[in-house]
Structure formats: structure tokens, C-alpha cells
Amino acid sequence: MASRGLADLEPKAAATPAVGVQISLAYARAVLAHDEDAEELFLSALAVPGSAFGWQRGRFELAYGSWLRRHRRVVQSRSPLRAARATFDALGATSWAGRANR
């Protein structure tokens, strides 16, 4: 159901130059993707202009690192999870930093 909603939003978002919309869509595409497409979409989301800083970056890194860990790629998950924790620590988002620390 969520994937269908995302598909409905894609054409509307394409007409919107707002960076926040593009960042949110990239995140949604990655977290809703089937396993065979997810990693590529996470990496694409991390490359969206405007996603390099702050809350969005931490959220992307946390989601990607968590996905890697769920797929038993523990060693690969460490870098994005550390980056997420550092971002959330810098923002004072201690509960989010704790999530990245698990």
C-alpha cells in the first residue's frame, strides 16, 4: 500500500523543485524497496543534493546501516551507523544517537 502511495506521488514530486520533497522521496524509495533494489536506492538517496548534512543525512545513514545489519552485513553496517550516531550526537538528538548505537 505504501509503495502505491509513493508511485502516486512521484509525478507530482517531479514537478516540484523543492529539495526537501526530493530528499523525502529518495528516503521513501529506499526504505520501501524490495531487498534486491534497496542498497542501490539507499546509495542514491545518500547522493541526493541537500541530503549531505544534518538530520536527513543521519536518518539516511541510520536506515542504511540498519538495513545492512538486518541482512547480516554487520561489518559493512558499522560505517553508516557510526556516521548516523555522530550526526545525531552533533544535533543533540540523543535518543536517535542511541538507536544508531544498538
The ranges of the chain with pLDDT < 70 are 1-8, 13, 51-52
**Chain mean position to CA 99:** 14
pLDDT of residue 46: 84
Model pTM score: 0.83
Per-residue cell: 74: 554487520
The size of the chain, in residues, is 102
Cβ(50)–Cβ(23) below 8 Å: yes
Instruction: Domain ranges for the chain, please list them.
Output: 2-101
CA–CA–CA angle 32, 72, 54 (5° rounding): 55
Model confidence pLDDT, tens digit, residues 33-48:
999 999 999 998 888 7
CA–CA separation, 66 vs 23, rounded Å?
Answer: 19
